[in-house]
Structure 1
């Protein structure tokens, strides 16, 4: 065998080794949290809350390595509420092209539920407070509020003040290739707020007098609308959050979530 042949053979071996090393590194790096998010010691709630704030900040502009689009604003396709004909709120409301602004500005106050016992599902519960959330959408409405008829089609803006959210999810544990992975099983959002201000363009085909009177009634009785609409919005948000969590944690083993003690 000539020297050139030996040299070429050695080159190929080196390239193969380098390729293997890079492949291994890619797999390892796939398990890393996006910067600046870092791991915490197990049950270090203060650290987890700090990382949750970093995650919100990161998610606001998107996490492309996890296929997560920018969440500022968070976009939902459609929200639909069919009014209870036996209640004071008898309206059918359809919201399209929904945008939720400032959702990522929440201040997390509690995260609990991560467990070392991986033999059963975990229940993760977190709580946060958001000083103001704005919801914008196209809308179509028809029905009655109290005894007053309402109809219109245009732009809707809802401003929610001091929103307190309790987020609970049951996480299933799946084992793959000797590692444990979490996936969202059920997700529930519960919210309370101090006030909701509602504005709608083109109510009653743009009749200013009727529009202003109806908006005054709606804003004075905001809780009436909020009590029926909030659970529907929360359900849509829960589905969105579940989808995002699946993308974020799909290839990060639970063993890599925390620093070793």
Structure 2
């Protein structure tokens, strides 16, 4: 999976291809045993939907049986990701990540789910908690971060503790192959809590271990400053990753397997 910014434009090009993709792709023939269909009604709390989404994360952590193009959730892999952000005076940087692997997503807990129907379009809301996320990746970095001028490539590793975020997922029913599927039209996330981020980047100064250690200490002491600066581009990237995955899953999974409304 490769993502290139701006991701909003990238996904806008996918919309006209949705129906053709459903028609060309085999759908799941039998409902998963771990899913119980829910009612899609306006609700501030939908415990059935909460249980289903958690089950999808856990049972399909290694991928979706029979669905090509959706790899494992845990570890979740992204082949290439580019991030550029300029917020003087703290950050003016271009970063390329390759072979990024994220561990911990299958342990997501859905604290609450809500549903809303408006003009034939459904909005599902989730409050998600992740106890710990670990990320490793090859990186190339150029620019300045805090007081450091950097031009380096190496290995990045990061641990995120107690991450909470809201996800709003908009979708509209679409008919194909004599069945109803949910076409995901938009996803928006909002990170509301993160207790700590610890990062380590190797080879920052051509192998000078003392300078490298000092730089990583500086990053970790100021992680909140860096996170606030990078939050918009990280959120946009998160939206893109989730939309890519949920779009593929919902166009493979007939709506009646998840929602009583389409039985």
Range class of TM-score, shorter chain: 0.7 to 0.9
Q: 1:38 to 1:32 in 2, by over 3 A?
A: farther
- Could you tell me which residue of structure 2 aligns to residue 86 of structure 1? 88
Distance across 2 between alignment mates of 1:252 and 1:81? 32
Compute the displacement of 1:220 (Å). Answer: 0.5
Q: Distance in 2 between matches of 1:182 and 1:236?
A: 22
Please show how residues 1-261 of structure 1 align to structure 2 within 5 Å.
30=28, 32-42=30-40, 45-67=46-68, 68-84=70-86, 86-113=88-115, 115=117, 119-176=119-176, 179-191=179-191, 192-259=193-260
Would you tell me which structure has more helix in proportion to its own residues? Answer: 1
Q: 5+ residue gaps in structure 2?
A: 1-26
- In the TM superposition, residue 207 of structure 1 has moved relative to its aligned partner by 0.4
**Distance in 2 between residues matched to 1:46 and 1:176, nearest whole Å:** 29
User: CA contact under 8 A between 1:150 and 1:214: conserved in structure 2?
Assistant: no
Contact kept in structure 2, 1:138 and 1:154, CA below 8 Å: yes
Q: Distance in 1 between matches of 2:143 and 2:253?
A: 48
User: Secondary structure in 1 aligned to 2:86?
Assistant: coil
Q: Secondary structure at the match of 1:72?
A: coil
- Cα RMSD for the two superposed structures: 2.5
Residue 198 of structure 1 aligns to a residue whose secondary structure is: strand
Distance 2:62 2:146 in 1: 42
Provide the rounded CA distance (Å) in 2 between the counterparts of 1:183 and 1:199: 39
Deviating beyond 4 angstroms after TM superposition, the runs of 4 or more aligned structure 1 residues are 41-44, 176-179
Q: Is the 8 A contact 1:42 1:259 kept in 2?
A: yes
C-alpha contact (below 8 Å) 1:31/1:251 kept by paired residues = no
Q: Which ranges of structure 1 fall in alignment gaps of 5 or more residues?
A: 1-28
Count how many residue pairs are aligned between Structure 1 and Structure 2.
Answer: 231
TM-score (normalizing by structure 1):
0.78
| 3-state SS in 2 of match to 1:65 | coil
TM-score (norm 2): 0.78
- Residues 110 and 82 (structure 1), Cα distance of their counterparts in 2 relative to 1, 3 Å cut: same
Give the whole-Å Cα distance in 1 for the aligned partners of 2:170 and 2:39: 22
Structure with more relative contact order (C-alpha pairs < 8 Å, separation 6 or more): 2
Whole-Å separation in 2 of the counterparts to 1:163 and 1:85: 24
Contact 1:179-1:253 within 8 A present in 2 as well: yes
User: Counterpart of 1:19?
Assistant: none
For the pair shown, which has the larger CA radius of gyration, 1 or 2?
A: 1
Deviation at 1:231, TM superposition (A): 3.4
Q: How far does residue 252 in structure 1 lie from its aligned partner after superposition?
A: 4.2
Q: Give the direction of change, closer, same or farther, for the CA distance of 1:97–1:195 in structure 2 (3 Å limit).
A: same
